[in-house]
Structures are given as structure tokens and as C-alpha cells.
Structure 1
Amino acid sequence: MHQTPWMTSDILSRLNANAGMLLVRSLWEYCPEHMFIVRVEGPTDFVVEAMNPTRQAMLGNDTIAIGKRIEQLLPPHMGHGVIANLKRCVECRSPIRYEEEGGYIDRNGICQQGHWQTLLVPITNQEGYVTHLFGVSRDMSLLSNQPGGAYPNSKEFERRVHERTAELIAANEHLTHLATHDPLTDIYNRRYLLELAELELRRAFRYEQPLCLMMLDVDHFKEINDVEGHLAGDEALRRVAHTILATVRECDLVGRYGGDEFIILMPETTAAGASEIAERLQRTLSQTTPLTISIGIASLEPADRFVVDLIHRADALLLQAKRNGRNRIECAA
């Protein structure tokens, strides 16, 4: 199988390990429109990171374009307009459409003129910053050369672009969810939870705000697995996760740390406030299920540098709650 530039692109290679890859690959490989991804390196600094085969056929050898800045690939009058639209998409953080007249250097080194209609879609990272732009373009001047009915008008083109873009966005959202959530409980997985928690830790120090971390696990969980079976154990974990989400605030971060252990990070929360949330959680769980949980709560201290510092203290307090009879809350003053 021949390799295309999208397989060398970082943003697209990350999709390679996920189940939705087939849809994305098909759209990328066979879409008749020109599709491309540019990397945002500065307010007016955009680097071509990937092009689909249709785009490659237009420009020629992909190694000439991949890794180059927009102004290196287009004539100045056209390059300035493209950069202005890329910048506008980054600033508004939402899809935009635009049309332009201009030319490009084809694979034979000949300048070709065209009337382009382009849709740009911003791609953000976990912190919400726009890191890449996904684009779909069509040379409207070629419509007269297409077989009858292929593209009857620009509205049909826009419809097809919107359909394919919507599919790509939906696939990307699904892949992002798979990469950041625990498949059993559908709350944050350990890796993503710790990434978000580190950001909250830095924010708490920057603005001198309180922060608490709660670690909990299911009492007698091994007995549930041994006596009732692992399906019952899985259902117990799902019910605990659902109860946590229904009890905590929207700003709290909830994730599965491992096994039957869960972590709740509570920004702008004191030890007293965290204890109230823990008591409400225990009470709600006991009213809706036969399950009980033990909880350890650690507060942010001046000497803390990483989230793992709070996790170690909360884990020790959780162990203390277990030793003291389970179904208890232990909180560092």
C-alpha cells in the first residue's frame, strides 16, 4: 500500500489507532474535493501538514508542499488572502467559508488560474487552543468541464462539503471521547484526568485558591466479583460513577484511577466543603444502591508540586478509612 502525507502527519497519525479510522481514511483518500490540514504556528504563520490525494494531484510531488509555509506555495497576492482567512478562522474559533480568485503552480510548474470556494474548520487541543485548520476547497471554474450533474451548482458543492465535514468532525469528536474516557464507566480515564488535574493545580497556585482531591473505592468490591461475578462488579462501578456525576458540581473533575478506585478533583473547595460533598455522595449511594464507599480527602498544601502529592495523601487517608471500618470519610484538616 502506498503511503500518503496524511500518514506522516502527527494529527492524523494519532487517529490511526482508533476504531473510526476507516471512515476518516475513506473521506480523506476518496473525496473529490481538495482537502488539507495546516498547522498554526503563529498569528500569521501557517505550515502545510497534510494534503489528500486530490490536492497532491493538483500540486504534484507532495514532499514539495508538506512542511512549507503558505507564502512559500502561493503567489503573494493569493497567499496574503489565504493567510488572512486562516487567521480569521483561528480568531473566531468556528468554521468559515470564503471564495477567492487566484492561481497556483501545478505539478508541471505552470501557473493555473481558478475560482476557489473553501471551507475552513478549526481543530483545538485539550486546552481549547486552535492548533490546526482543516480545509476543503473546490475550483468552481472547473464545473463546466465536469460531466452533467456531477456538480450542478455551488449549493450542491456546499452541501457535499458540509456533509463530509460534519462526518469528519463527528468522527474526530468520537475518537477524542474514546481517547479521554474510561470505556466501562464513561468518565475520564486516568491519563486524561491527571492531565486536567495538573492544569487545575497550577491554576490554584496562580490565583491562591483552595483545592481538594478525593479518592474513594467500593467497599468489599472483591467479594462482589468473587460471589456475584465480574459482570456484577462492572455494574457496581458504573453505578458508582453515575452517582458521582449526579452528585458533584460541573466544575469538579471525575475519573477512574484504576480498579474500583475513583478520583474527584474539586477546584476552589476547602476541606470542609469537600467533606460535605463526600457525605452527600455516601448518602445518595446508600439510598439508591446496596453499595458503600470509603473516602480519603487531601487538601492542597504549599509544598505540593504535582497532583501525585495530593493523591498520595488521599490514598493514605482512604486506607485509614478502610482500617477504621469502611464506609467512612477521612479528611486531612
Structure 2
Amino acid sequence: MHQTPWMTSDILSRLNANAGMLLVRSLWEYCPEHMFIVRVEGPTDFVIEAMNPTRQAMLGNDTVAIGKRIEQLLPPPLCHGVIANLSRCVECGSPIRYEEEGGYIDRNGIYQQGHWQTLLVPITDQEGYISHLFGVSRDMSQLPEQPVGANPDSKEFERRVHERTAELVAANEHLTHLATHDSLTDIYNRRYLLELAEQELRRASRYEQSLCLMMLDIDHFKEINDTEGHLSGDEALRRVARTILATVRECDLVGRYGGDEFIILMPQTTADGAREIAERLRRTLTQASSLTISIGIASLEPTDHFVVDLIHRADNLLLQAKRNGRNRIEYAA
């Protein structure tokens, strides 16, 4: 039997075990769009595992391309952009779309300039880790140009479609924001924060990276509500949330855990590094207001399998900070 890239890829062979995948196989073989599968070896390390015939026509015979890394097939800066988008898809754990322009050497050794629109879809293994990425690219430079004097009615229809699509996207983004953010502080709510935190924990464990979780609350928060009213308490929560966002890095995850408790998850951060951030946060808040906070910091350990393991240790350290006089930081070095 003729061996195709579909048959040579383990992941595609598993899909082929299902008779319903015959249609997918036909699309893989005959679709004019570029299709490819890369194996995720590391945060910025991706290996070509399969290409459909259309993609082969662009880069060369599959026996040459299969098993090679992106940087071995595409010249800079094109490969840098491709790797950045592959990494972004792994990072967010959901499908992404992007456009790219660049040049490459085709199978005949001729330099070609291209413009592609690409959809990337992550594929997870049985343990929930992203093991592969499936991509579909359309070469926009090969599409026919619209003829001069095209029907104006079709242009108006296209404009309305784009406007309606933009409205639907905006509405969907608003609903997504409401579902994932705390209505009072506008940071992540507890459910979504824990969902993202579990993904970060799995990533840190898989690549043996450092990870810290910080839990904090407002000192004497009940007294603020009892003496100044709940509106003052709400403002105190918003102030703390704003200060946290202004202090931490963009890659850190910030959410309201419940009541006056906040959680900050810090990827690729050691205990000492987390303590520096915590101290800057505590000092900034004290200088700008009458509020003080107590903080507990837990670091990822080899025995941690769930985020709740870090939360439990950080909570105990937070209680220790309270017992030792409040307005302080406790962490395990």
C-alpha cells in the first residue's frame, strides 16, 4: 500500500482507526489548503510530524521535512514568527488565527514570497497536555484579485457582513469577560482563576519550571465594613486589585479568591523573586493608602499535583503572617 504522510504519523494513524475519519483523510489528501502537524517538544521547540501533499509542494518531499524543526525548514525571520505563534497557541491552550508574510525557498530552490492566513488547533494527549498542533494555512498571495468594476452591491453586502461579524465578536467578548471576571474588582473570578492556574501548574511541572502562588488578604477588613460601611469595603477591594495589577507582571495571573482574599500565580518565579514582588506590593499599598495586607507565598514542589496543594500551603503561611502581627509576608524559602 502507498505510504502517505497520513499513514506515517502516529497521531493521524490513531484517528484513522475510526471509520468516520475517512472523510478527514480525504480532506487531508486532496484539500488545496496547506495542512500540517507539529509535535510540541518544548515551549519554543516544534518538530514537523506530518504535512499534506499541498504543504509538501511548498516545502519539498515529506521524507525531507518530517522530523525537522521549524528553524531547519524556514529561514529567519519567517521561522521566528511561526515559532512565536506556535508558542502562543500552546500558551493559551485554544485555537488561534494569525497572518504572516515572508519568503522561503521552494522545492526547486526558487525564492518565493508569500502571505498566509493560518488556523492553529492544539491537540492534547491522554493526560491533558498539549502534545501536537494541527495547522491549516491559506496562501493569500495565490488568491485572484477582485476585478476592476466589481459589483458594488456585493461590496456593500460584504461590508454589512463584516460589521455584523464585528458586533457579534464584540458581544461574545463582553459575555466572556462577564463569565471570567469578578464584577466588583474586574480581575479574574475564582472559577476561571483556578482553571488557568491548573494549566500553568501542569506546564510548570512538565517543563520543570519554577512556580509560586501568593495568597493575601486585607488586614482588619471586617472592621472597615463595620465602621465605615460596605461601600468603603468595596472600594478597599478595588484599590487592592488595582495596586496588584499595577505591581505584578503581565504573565502573572491575578484573581479574587473570595471575600477579601486574592491569589496571584507567578510562573517561572522563585520564592525569593515572589517575595520581592510581594514586598513591593505591600509597600506600594501602605504608602498610597491606610490599607495594609498580609501575604503567604508557596512554591511549587515535586509532590504538588493540583493548585489546591499550593493554595493550602499559602493559606497556612497567610494565617501565620496574621498571627505574627499582620502587614507582613511569610514564605517558605
TM-score interval (norm. to shorter):
0.5 to 0.7
For 2:301, the equivalent position in structure 1 comes to: 301
Aligned residue for 2:97?
93
* 1:154 Cα deviation from its structure 2 partner: 1.0
2:242 is the counterpart of 1:242: yes
Q: What is the rounded CA distance, in whole Å, between the counterparts of 2:96 and 2:219 in structure 1?
A: 49
Pairing 1:271–2:268 present: no
Q: What does residue 289 of structure 1 align with?
A: 289
Amino acid at match of 1:275: R
1:41-52 matches, cutoff 5 A: none
For residue 153 of structure 1, give the secondary structure of its aligned residue in structure 2: helix
1:261 aligned partner, one-letter code: E
SS in 1 for 2:265: strand
Q: 1:237 to 1:92 in 2, by over 3 A?
A: closer
* 2:98–2:118 Cα contact (<8 Å) kept: yes
Aligned counterparts, 1:39-78, within 5 A: none
For residues 188-235 of structure 1, what are the alpha-carbon distances to aligned partners after superposition, in whole Å with 9 as ceiling and x for unaligned?
Answer: 111111111111111111111111100000000001111111111000
Tell me how far apart the structure 1 counterparts of residues 174 and 320 of structure 2 sit (CA, whole Å).
Answer: 40
| Structure 1 residue 83, shift from structure 2 partner | 6.6
- CA 177–91 in structure 1, closer or farther in 2 if over 3 Å, else same: closer
Partner in structure 2 of residue 259 of structure 1: 259
| Residues in 2 aligned to 1:171 and 1:314: alpha-carbon distance in whole angstroms | 37
Instruction: Give the TM-score taking structure 2 as reference length.
Output: 0.58
Alignment partner, residue 35 of structure 1? none
Q: Cα–Cα, structure 1 residues 123 and 219, in superposed 2: closer, same or farther, change >3 Å?
A: farther
Flag the 1:226–1:188 CA change in 2: closer, same or farther, 3 A: same
Q: CA deviation at 1:86?
A: 11
Q: Distance in 1 between matches of 2:261 and 2:176?
A: 23
Q: Which amino acid aligns with 1:317?
A: L
Percent of aligned positions that are identical: 75
Q: Distance in 1 between the 2:282 and 2:217 partners?
A: 11
Alignment TM-score, normalising by the size of structure 1? 0.58
Structure 1 residue 93, shift from structure 2 partner: 1.3
Alignment RMSD (CA, Å):
3.5
User: Aligned AA for 1:169?
Assistant: V
Q: Provide Cα deviations, 1:225-259, integer angstroms capped at 9, x if missing partner.
A: 11111111000000000000000011111000000
Take 2:331 and 2:200, find their aligned partners in 1: how far apart are those partners? 20
1:93-132 alignment, distance < 5 Å: 93-94=97-98
Note the C-alpha offset of 1:122: 7.5
Query: Within the alignment, does 1:230 sit opposite 2:230 as a pair?
Result: yes
Q: Secondary structure at the match of 2:304?
A: coil
Tell me, in whole angstroms, the C-alpha distance in 2 between the residues paired with 1:250 and 1:306: 23
> Structure 1 residues 197-206 or 257-266, which shifts more?
197-206
Amino acid at match of 1:153: D
> What is the CA distance between 1:176 and its match in structure 2?
0.9
* Divergent runs of 4+, >4 A: 82-88, 120-125, 127-130
Distance 1:220 1:195, change over 3 A: same
Q: Which runs of 5+ in 1 are unaligned?
A: 1-41, 46-67, 96-119, 131-150
How far is the alpha carbon of 1:124 from its aligned partner?
Answer: 8.5
Offset from partner CA, 1:134-179 (integer Å, 9 cap, x none): xxxxxxxxxxxxxxxxx96111011100010000110111111111
User: Where do residues 165-176 of structure 1 align in structure 2 (5 Å cutoff)?
Assistant: 165-176=165-176
Could you say if the C-alpha distance between residues 122 and 207 of structure 1 is closer, same or farther in structure 2, counting changes exceeding 3 Å?
Answer: closer
Q: Is the aligned partner of 1:206 residue 2:206?
A: yes
2:96–2:120 Cα contact (<8 Å) kept: no
CA contact (8 A) 2:204 2:210 kept: yes
Distance in 1 separating the partners of 2:95 and 2:31: 12
Aligned equivalents of 1:179 and 1:272: distance in 2? Answer: 34
Q: In the superposition, relative to structure 1, how do residues 158 and 287 fare at CA in structure 2: closer, same or farther (>3 Å)?
A: same
Tell me the amino acid that sits aligned with residue 182 of structure 2: D
Instruction: Find the aligned partners of 1:325 and 1:186 in 2 and give their Cα distance.
Output: 30
Deviation at 1:302, TM superposition (A): 1.0
> How far has the Cα of 1:289 moved from its partner?
1.2
SS of residue matched to 2:302: coil
Is the alpha carbon distance of 1:86 and 1:183 closer, same or farther for their aligned partners in structure 2, counting shifts above 3 Å?
Answer: farther
Q: Secondary structure in 2 aligned to 1:208?
A: coil
1:93/1:257 CA distance change after superposition, 3 Å:
same
| Equivalent residues, number | 218
Tell me the amino acid that sits aligned with residue 244 of structure 1.
I
